[in-house]
Structure formats: C-alpha cells, structure tokens
A and B are shown apart, each in its own frame.
Chain A
Amino acid sequence: MNIQDFIENFASQFDETELEEFTPETHFKQLDEWSSLTALSIIAMVDDEYDVIIKGNDIINSDTIQDLYDVVERQQK
C-alpha cells in the first residue's frame, strides 16, 4: 500500500471537502465535514481496500492521515 492511494481513498469518503485539502499531515478530525458517520465510512473503506478492521481507538488516537495509514500498514503485516 502507498500513502497517495490511501489519501485518495480517504478523501473519497468526503462529499464536500476538496481533494487538495488532504495531505499526510491533514488533521482529519478537524475538517468541517468530519463526523461520526465519516468515521464509519473510513472503517468500511479500510476493510474494502486493505482487508483490515480498524478499531474506534485507532481513529481516536490518530491525529493525521499519516497516523492512520501507519496503523493500517502495521496491521496488514
């Protein structure tokens, strides 16, 4: 897996936020559009794309997209 694809998959769970706003350093929970429902979409996306089930705490403890990417990458191994 690579971070660029992950960011695109991550961004596609949002309806209104522009793709340019997503970088590895984006603090995703501070985005206006972020909600508990977005969190569920992210969990579903990670399951579909990477065959990993992340926990609520993985999202709670991640600040940036890179943080979450690292969690998924670790669990894939």
Chain B
Amino acid sequence: MSQLTINNVRIAGMSACVPSTVEDNLTLPIYKDQNDALKVIASTGIERHHKVDPGTTASDLTVKAVEALLSDMGWQPEEVDCLAYVCTSRDFIAPQTACVLQDRLKLRNDCCVFDLPFGCSGWVYGMSIVGSLMSHGTFKRAILVAAETNTLNRSQLDTAVRPLFGDAATATALAFDPEHARPMNFVYGVDGSGYQAVWAPFGGVRNPVTTEALQQQEVSPGSYRRGVDMIVNGMDVFGFAIKRPPQSLKELIATFNIDVETVDLLLLHQANKFIDEKIRKAIKMPPEKTPYCLEEYGNVTSASIPLTMVTRCREKLSGDDKHCIACGFGVGLAWASMEFYAGNVKVSEVITY
C-alpha cells in the first residue's frame, strides 16, 4: 500500500470564491415537470449550483480567492514559496495556468508553481504533494488552489450532468511549522481500467478536436453533448463511489490506528448526498460530524472538500485543533484519503465573483 506521513506542516488559512450566478435545479428547463426536478433533488441533495458567466475562467475565480486569503492572513505575495493549481478546466492547452497566475498574483519569479490536473480527488492529492515539498523545511508558505469550472467543460444540454455540477475556486494556505506536532497521513488509490467512467474523449492528442467532435450529439432522449465535453457514466461512477471511498477510509483508519470516536470532522468530496451518506454510514460517522455544502454549490470536483470547510466549518476550524479525516474520489478513477488536525485556521468569508 502506498501511504505517506508528513510532519511540520499545517493549514494556516482557507478561502473560496464562487460565481454570483445561481442556477436552481427546481426551475431548470431540462425537466418535463417539477416532479422530475424534485426527484433529482431528493436523491442527490443538490438544490442549486453557481455558474460562471461567459468569459470567466477558474483562474479568474482563483485570483479573487487567493487575494482574499493573502489579505486576511496578512501574507505578502512575495512571501509565497509555492503555488499548486489543481484544476482540469485550464485556461490554455499551454502554458500551465499556474505560470499565468504567478504574474497575476504578483508572486516571486523564483516561486515554485505548477498545475496538478486532478479532478475530485485533487485537494487530497494536492495536500500530500504540496505538504511533502514543504516538509523539507525550506518552503515556509505555500498555496494550494483547488478550482473548477464544471459548467464549461461539461455540456449544459446533458440532462444527467447539468443539475449536479457547479463552479468554484478555493485556496488553502499551508505553513511550515515545527511546532505543529500533528502529522498529516495519506493513503492513495487508482483504477485506470475505469478511465471511461468520467472522461472527455476529444481534445487531447489521442483524439484531437475535429469538426465532428464539436457537433452536439443526442446521447439519450433530449440530452446532448459534444465529443469534447466531459462524459459522466452515472451508473459506473456510482458503483465505484459506494465501494472504493469506504474501503479507502477504512484503510486510512487501520493503517494509522485512528480512533474514529475522536474524529471531529469527516470531509467528503461532495459527489451527491446518496453516495456520501453511504460512505458516512460505512465508517459509522454521525451526521453532525459530516458537513455538506452540495445542496448550495453542487459537485465542484476538487474544490468540494475545501469549499465545505470554508462554508460549513469556519467556526470549528478557527478554534483549537480539530481531528479531521477526508476522502476525495472521482475521475481517473482516482481516490485518496487523509487524516489531519486543523485549528486556528484563518478562514475567509466566501467571496462571490
């Protein structure tokens, strides 16, 4: 089993930015009547999501989130040693979006920046990657961005995905701190045989963009998407999500001898309520320790866990250390779980773009 322990790194601050436009599932034009909409809301728990206006990208939301974070924490841009940008809806095919962000955010020219093109597992993977770099002790301050504009890389005419996915950007500030005696612990998982459960077939180099790949195709009655849009095979994702995340969390608990009773927060990727509740029950975590933000923001892929922390755990995280376990899972198929302690975290108010 691939497992990792990181010492001397703590979460110092968090922020989030969401677009101001809200799309309510109850009034989406894709349903034949409100009963259909109510059924989807009842089973997924997702009532609405925020959606970028044309021309706005995930990096635009990111700039707002990072600026708020730096300002609320009193960090200067030139004090940031590392910035990682977790996102699949990148601004350009080249360069990496993190390079453009270095300039927009006025980070130093000798700052270490890079993209991490993860989906729903991305915040947990990102925490392990940036945390590892910091644990060497020379990077003192880092920012992990987890951002996505799902409404741009998924078809808005695809009735199976439009109600579920939203847009958001989050920023997590990490600090090297030898006084922080609590390790971060990780376990990982991947099953590439399921890569077609969530994927965009066209637009990469294996299947380049063709005029045909830009045509809307009817994929089920009344539902359309293009070859370049993200496909979400709901049944396969569901089968994966009720099996792997509980296994992964149980692996984490067993590997690091976690006493589940002492856990204050279970932070799950906000897939949908049906899936997440199955995961919660599988590891016997009470509902009051399992916050959700999907009713308001939908599934925002890698931003889901940090957005939940910013919008639902602000008070808890600003107090003394809270014992947290988290699990991210999705496209890849990839998943990862982590244990960490977070306290005295400077959590910014959610910003709207």
Known contacts A43-B239, A54-B239; A36/B234 CB under 8 A: yes
Q: Is the Cβ of A56 less than 8 Å from the Cβ of B242?
A: no
| CB-nearest residue of chain A to B234 | A36
* Cβ A37 vs Cβ B39 within 8 A: yes
Q: Is B236 engaged at the interface, CB distance under 8 Å to the other chain?
A: yes
* Residue B238 CB within 8 A of the other chain: yes
Task: State whether A47 and B243 are in contact (beta carbons under 8 Å apart), knowing that A40-B235, A40-B274 are contacts in the complex.
Answer: yes
- Chain A minimum-CB-distance residue to B40: A37
Q: Is A74 an interface residue (CB 8 A)?
A: no
Docked CA distance A2–B242 (Å): 24
Tell me the count of chain B residues lying within 8 A, CB to CB, of chain A: 15
Contacts of B274 in A (CB 8 A): 40, 44
Taken together as a complex, chains A and B put the C-alpha atoms of A43 and B40 apart, in Å, by: 17
Q: Which of chain A's residues has its CB closest to B44's CB? A: A37
> B207: CB under 8 A from chain A?
no
**B112 at interface (Cβ–Cβ under 8 A)?**
no
- Picked from A35, A36, A37, A56, the residue with its CB within 8 Å of the CB of B239 is A56
Distance between Cα atoms of A36 and B111 in the complex (Å)? 48
**A-B Cβ contacts below 8 A, count:** 39
- Chain A 46-64, CB within 8 Å of chain B: the 1/0 string? 0100000111100100000
User: What residue of chain A has the Cβ atom nearest to residue B160's Cβ?
Assistant: A36
Q: Are B278 and A59 in contact (CB under 8 A)?
A: no
A39 near B: Cβ within 8 Å? yes
Asked if B39 and A43 make an inter-chain contact with CB atoms under 8 angstroms apart, the answer reads no
Interchain CB contact (< 8 A) of B242 among A35, A37, A43, A59: A43
Chain B positions within 8 Å of A54 at CB level: 239
Q: Mark A11-42, 1 if CB is under 8 A from B, else 0.
A: 00000000000000000000000011101100
- For residue B255, CB closer than 8 A to chain A, the reply is no
> Is the pair B234, A44 in contact by a Cβ cutoff of 8 Å?
no
B162 to chain A, nearest CB (A): 14
State whether A55 touches B235 (Cβ < 8 A): yes
Listed in ascending order, the chain B residues whose CB lies under 8 Å from chain A are 39-40, 43, 160, 233-236, 238-240, 242-243, 274, 278
Beyond A40-B238, A47-B242, A54-B239, 9 extra complex contacts between A and B, CB < 8 Å = A35-B39, A37-B43, A43-B242, A44-B274, A53-B239, A55-B239, A56-B233, A56-B234, A56-B239
Q: List 20 A-B contacts (CB under 8 A).
A: A35-B39, A37-B39, A37-B40, A37-B43, A39-B235, A40-B43, A40-B234, A40-B235, A40-B274, A43-B235, A43-B238, A43-B242, A44-B238, A44-B242, A53-B242, A55-B235, A55-B236, A56-B233, A56-B236, A59-B235
